[in-house]
Amino acid sequence: MNKLSFPGMKNNIAIIRSCFIVSAILSVFVFNSCRTTQPAADPKDLSYLYNPTKNSINPRYNVYNQSDELSVLSVKFFASDLFFSEANPQGVPTAQMLFNIKLYNASQGKQLADTAVYNISIVKEKGRIEYIYDIPLKVEKGNEYTADVRILDRLRLFSIQAFIPFNTLSDNNRYNFKMVGHFDKNELFNPVLKTDEYVNLLYSKGHIDSLFISYYKPYSEVPDPPSMILPEKTLDYEPDKVIALPYSDTLPMMFPREGIYHCTLERNIQDGYTFFNLGATYPSMKTPDVMIEPLVYLATQDEIDTLRLSVRQKVALDDFWIRLGGNVDKARELIRIYYTRVLYTNFYFTSYKQGWRSERGMIYIIYGPPDKVYKTIDGENWGYRKPVIKSSWGGRYSVKEEYLFFNFKKSDNIFSDNDYYLSRNETLVTYWDKAIASWHKGVVFRLDNPEGF
């Protein structure tokens, strides 16, 4: 298995002293004694996490409770995301990454539990598409944790941040399992599997005899518009089938049928590890029947039913977009933007349902990537910039930025830790009707677009 495991870590055992010299030249131009005051950069804004144009590194993260005292945080980089330079004494293509990790015990008021700083050099290997690094974290049983992970690309001089929640509350939950490929034994980070993909499931807390697999049919609900004050839609039905298998860490498992497969150590417990089969084309939109479904946010139910029943779905789908765009070229542009957003929602927000079916996915598709993202232990706040307000006083011009915020709360469920619901209230003005009307006019909605643009 191609991965690097760091030695045992406890409270900054690896200390890196780095010195960055930053030179800045400030030029001030004054015309007629007028100056403009711009809002300062926001260091807590994490909107780049959901905007591929702002972020070129997209690591994957996984946590495995190796013992009662040690959890392992795995970080995976894709080779295509890394910048390799030969400007080093060895003259070999190398990427330089700096890890800074703070582990907080959320059960004890966000008390700092462990820290680490690692400087890694990633040497490019021909044909290798991913690089995995294991970082040990000191934990205690019976607690909830959040790992604050900051990664600096030392060559391109930009950083990213992620908050990775996990817990040691139970020996039965997902964090005590690790999924690996059956044939190559490489650690797998995504529980969404292809129809013909074989995997093994490893368990860290001792010997077990059986594995119980509960099969749930695919989740097919979509969220209500944010302007509607309705309860969260959740998976509230029983499994269609439960089967017991003799357990082995080399047992080849493959899940050919679309749906949700929840694995537990006993039949009558809920905690476990969940696999998902979300369809043959997931996460992309490659066939008309699949492309029709995410239109529920734009089309009426009658329009959706007509598209589903059409004998020539491709033609019917094209006609729908041409009606919105007014011509073929505009329709192509709308299709490109809409389904690119659908693809990214599957990438960012998938849980036990496709990302586009989630409440974050709904907002992302219609409003676009958020301009502001603030994360907390139990949720996310997304901000969309409203039209800028300019004002002047005594020759000084100021720019005031206001935002429409959507508040998402983390939803606790047995299947996924990436499930959030929208906090709805009667006072929130969402501009949803305005957004849908804009799409129907062939204009991709942006809250800060000038009126009539």
- If phi > 0 it is left, if psi is from -120 to 50 it is alpha, else beta; for residue 11 that is left
Map residue 188 onto helix, strand or coil. coil
Same domain, 429 and 295: yes
Which one of 122, 151, 169 terminates a domain?
169
Same domain, 86 and 64: yes
Mean pLDDT lowest for which of 105-109, 128-132, 355-359? 105-109
Residue 265 pLDDT: 96
Q: How confident is the model at residue 271 (pLDDT cuts 50, 70, 90)?
A: very high
Same domain, 263 and 369: no
pLDDT of 395 above 90: no
Question: Mean pLDDT over residues 123-139, rounded?
Answer: 97
Output the domain CATH number for residue 143.
Answer: 2.60.40.10
Residue 22 pLDDT: 31
Same domain, 44 and 77: yes
Mean pLDDT lowest for which of 29-33, 245-249, 423-427? 29-33
Q: How confident is the model at residue 390 (pLDDT cuts 50, 70, 90)?
A: low
Residue 36 pLDDT: 38
Which one of 280, 296, 324 terminates a domain?
280
Q: Is 448 part of any domain?
A: no
pLDDT of 113 above 60: yes
Question: What distance in Å separates the CA atoms of residue 313 and residue 322, rounded to the nearest whole number?
Answer: 14
pLDDT of 6 above 90: no
Residue 424 pLDDT: 93
Same domain, 319 and 221: no
**Dihedral sign of CA atoms 360, 363, 366, 367 in order:** negative
Q: Is 376 part of any domain?
A: yes
Q: Is 352 part of any domain?
A: yes
Same domain, 411 and 358: yes
Q: Which residue has the tokens 């690119």?
A: 340
Pull the structure tokens for residue 343.
Answer: 């693809």
Q: At what angle do helices 313-325 and 328-349 cross, to 10 degrees?
A: 110
Residue 429 pLDDT: 87
Map residue 278 onto helix, strand or coil. coil
Same domain, 271 and 300: no
Same domain, 194 and 235: yes
Residue 5 pLDDT: 56
Cis bond upstream, residue 43 (ω within 30): no
Same domain, 45 and 141: yes
- Domain holding 418, by residue range, is 288-440
39-46 contacts at long range (C-beta below 8 A, 24 or more positions apart): 39/399, 39/401, 42/372, 44/374, 45/372, 45/373, 45/374, 46/161, 46/373, 46/374, 46/375
CA distances for 22 relative to 19, 28, 157, angstroms: 10, 19, 11
Q: Is 127 part of any domain?
A: yes
Same domain, 14 and 145: yes
Same domain, 84 and 4: yes
Q: pLDDT tens for residues 260-270?
A: 999 999 999 99
Q: Is 453 part of any domain?
A: no
pLDDT of 116 above 80: yes
Q: pLDDT tens for residues 412-434?
A: 899 999 999 999 988 788 999 99
Q: Is 341 part of any domain?
A: yes
Which one of 138, 169, 200 terminates a domain?
169
Which amino acid, residue 368? Answer: G
Q: Is 417 part of any domain?
A: yes
pLDDT of 286 above 60: yes
CA distances for 345 relative to 10, 303, 332, 337, 348, angstroms: 37, 23, 20, 12, 5
Nearest to 308, CA basis, from 286, 336, 288 = 288
Pull the structure tokens for residue 105.
Answer: 């015990």
Mean pLDDT lowest for which of 7-16, 74-83, 125-134? 7-16
Number of domains in the chain: 3
Report yes or no: 355 and 223 within 8 Å, Cβ to Cβ: no
Q: pLDDT tens for residues 140-188?
A: 999 999 999 999 999 999 999 999 999 999 999 999 999 999 999 999 9
Residue 194 pLDDT: 93
Q: Which string of b and e fits 257-296 if b means at least 16 CB within 10 Å?
A: eebbbbbbbeeeeebbbbbbbbbeebbebeebebbbbbbb
Q: How confident is the model at residue 451 (pLDDT cuts 50, 70, 90)?
A: low
The percent of residues above 70 in pLDDT, for the chain, comes to 88
Same domain, 67 and 140: yes
pLDDT of 66 above 70: yes
pLDDT of 29 above 90: no
Q: Is 228 part of any domain?
A: yes
Q: pLDDT tens for residues 351-370?
A: 999 999 999 999 999 999 99
